[in-house]
Amino acid sequence: MKKYSILLLLIPFFFLFPSCDMHYTEGTILDEFVKKNTDTEKKAVGLSVSTTAPVSMSYNLNDGYTLSGIEALLVYDDGSTENVSTKVSYSGLPFDNVGENTVTISYQEFTESLSIDYSSYTVSIGPRGIDNDFFIPEVFGPDNEDKVFVGWAEAGSDEVLEFPLLNESYEETMVITPVFKPVSQVFELDESGAAVKLLEPYYEFYGIPASITAFGDNLFYKNGTVKAMAFENGSTLSSIGEFVFYFSSLEYFEMPSSLVEIKNSAFSMVSNLKRIIWEDDPGLKTIGPNAFTGYPLDVLEIPSSVESIGRSIIGPSSVSQIVFLEGSQISSIDRYAFDYTYDVEIVFIKPLFISPPEYSSDCWGSYMSTFRIER
């Protein structure tokens, strides 16, 4: 009897611990759990963009251009949305002018275009330093034709700020707006539209309108305030006269593609110069004598469009290399073009000439150390 009692007591344990070799069939709890979680997975199907407030544009050195007043919603297949306004990227910025503009807004694989009536140029500029790429906003528009851009002012003020891009200690972020002055207030013009006299010499930045056709001699002669200069798209400036920036405090200069000639000593002794920016497809043909005497940078680039250069274009300077850019059309080089240069390498990159114009062992200055043509 004891033997049967023990067996009876063990039987329930087989039901409490069933075999591990179990199979779930359709309709079990596990299948329902999987199905339920699969059904709740949403799929993004598009992007919806709209304006929610007056649009303002900002520029940050790390993030580039962004817009505020834009709402971007990621749309899912179940009709729900997710606000991704702070995560989108923009193309089509900065706007070309005040008025109707189109911007493209992208997030993940979705892209939408939005038409915006941009009524003001409000720009927020974040921290930057002098070693960062030179930044010139497109601030000219229909309302600013024939006006000179002279800098930025804090929103609601007309007082021009110290130019933030050239101030190494500039750290704060503020909302600023561009300041324009009538051309007649800043420059005296002759009948041809050339600026022949500087009437307001105390700005650090000058944004030159397209209507100015030339800079007359001595325009910024020994000016100790100017730091940067840029030109409106479509500039008609064709000539920079003699001694225009001689001994000035200029640091950055954008050469417009309309420029044809740089005359005698135009950029001579500009010891603070940090960068010259050549626009695409330059039209410069002539560089006059002593044009860059005392040039403080290591390399002087000569655009491929230049056909002639005058005597002693750099003189004694810190230049170690003069580079004639690819496809150089140079046809006339003054006999003493590189006079007073020491240990300077002259490089022609795939020039159009077969042999250097008027080249002989005793010309182009007696101190030139290296002459090289790269085919």
pTM: 0.66
Query: Domain containing 13: what range?
Result: 2-39
Tens digit of each residue's pLDDT (9 = 90 or more) over 108-127: 999 999 888 765 545 554 44
pLDDT for 171: 45
Alpha carbon distances (Å) from 47 to 71, 74, 113: 10, 5, 10
Mean pLDDT, all residues of the chain = 78
Do 21 and 87 share a structural domain?
no
Exposed/middle/buried for residue 294 (C-beta within 10 Å: 0-12, 13-18, 19+):
buried
The 10 Å Cβ neighbour count of residue 125 is: 21
The 10 Å Cβ neighbour count of residue 34 is: 10
pLDDT for 8: 45
Rounded CA separation 195/235 (Å): 13
The answer to whether residue 88 sits within a structural domain is yes
Structure tokens at 204: 């650090």
Do 58 and 30 share a structural domain?
no
The answer to whether residue 77 sits within a structural domain is yes
Tokens 């070693």 sit on residue: 131
Structure tokens at 57: 């544009």
Do 49 and 25 share a structural domain?
no
* DSSP-assigned letters across all residues of 73-112: EEEETTS-EEE-TTT-EEES-S-SSSEEEEEEEEETTEEE
The answer to whether residue 124 sits within a structural domain is no
Do 60 and 29 share a structural domain?
no
Partnered with residue 353 across adjacent β-strands are none
Strand arrangement, sheet containing 123-125? 81-83, 64-76, 44-60, 123-125, 174-182, 147-154, 205-208, 228-231, 252-255, 275-278
Do 53 and 105 share a structural domain?
yes
**DSSP-derived 3-state class of residue 195:** strand
How many C-alpha atoms does 364 have within 13 Å on its Cβ side? 19
Spatial neighbors of 108 by CB under 8 A, at least 6 apart, are 44, 74
Do 114 and 87 share a structural domain?
yes
Counted domains in the chain? 2
Helix (H) / strand (E) containing 33: helix 29-39
Domain boundary among 79, 102, 118: 118
Tell me the backbone φ, ψ of residue 222, rounded to 5 degrees. Answer: 55, 30
Do 65 and 33 share a structural domain?
no
The answer to whether residue 21 sits within a structural domain is yes
Rounded CA separation 248/271 (Å): 8
Domain boundary among 118, 133, 156: 118
Question: What sign results for the dihedral spanned by CA atoms 84, 89, 91, 94?
Answer: positive
- Percent pLDDT > 70 in the chain is 69
Spatial neighbors of 131 by CB under 8 A, at least 6 apart, are none
The answer to whether residue 224 sits within a structural domain is no
Do 9 and 73 share a structural domain?
no
Do 58 and 92 share a structural domain?
yes
Structure tokens at 195: 């600026």
Q: What is the mean pLDDT of residues 350-359?
A: 69
pLDDT at 104 over 50: yes
Q: Between vectors from CA 129 to CA 127 and to CA 135, what angle results, nearest 5°? A: 85
pLDDT for 142: 58
pLDDT for 290: 95
Alpha carbon distances (Å) from 252 to 166, 263, 275, 316: 9, 19, 5, 21
The answer to whether residue 11 sits within a structural domain is yes
Tally of residues, the chain: 375
Domain boundary among 118, 139, 172: 118
The answer to whether residue 148 sits within a structural domain is no
CB 341 within 8 A of CB 314: yes
CB 232 within 8 A of CB 257: no
Q: Calculate the CA dihedral of residues 334, 340, 346, 352 and round it to 10 degrees.
A: -10
Q: What is the mean pLDDT of residues 282-308?
A: 94
pLDDT at 230 over 80: yes
**Cis upstream peptide for 94 (omega within 30°):** yes
Partnered with residue 160 across adjacent β-strands are 153
Amino acid letter, 126? G
User: Which of 18-27, 207-216, 240-249, 361-370 is the least confident region?
Assistant: 18-27
Tens digit of each residue's pLDDT (9 = 90 or more) over 168-197: 444 445 566 778 899 999 999 999 999 999
Alpha carbon distances (Å) from 23 to 19, 26, 207: 10, 10, 79
- Specify the higher pLDDT residue, 105 or 145: 105
The answer to whether residue 371 sits within a structural domain is no
Rounded CA separation 266/253 (Å): 12
Rounded CA separation 261/273 (Å): 20
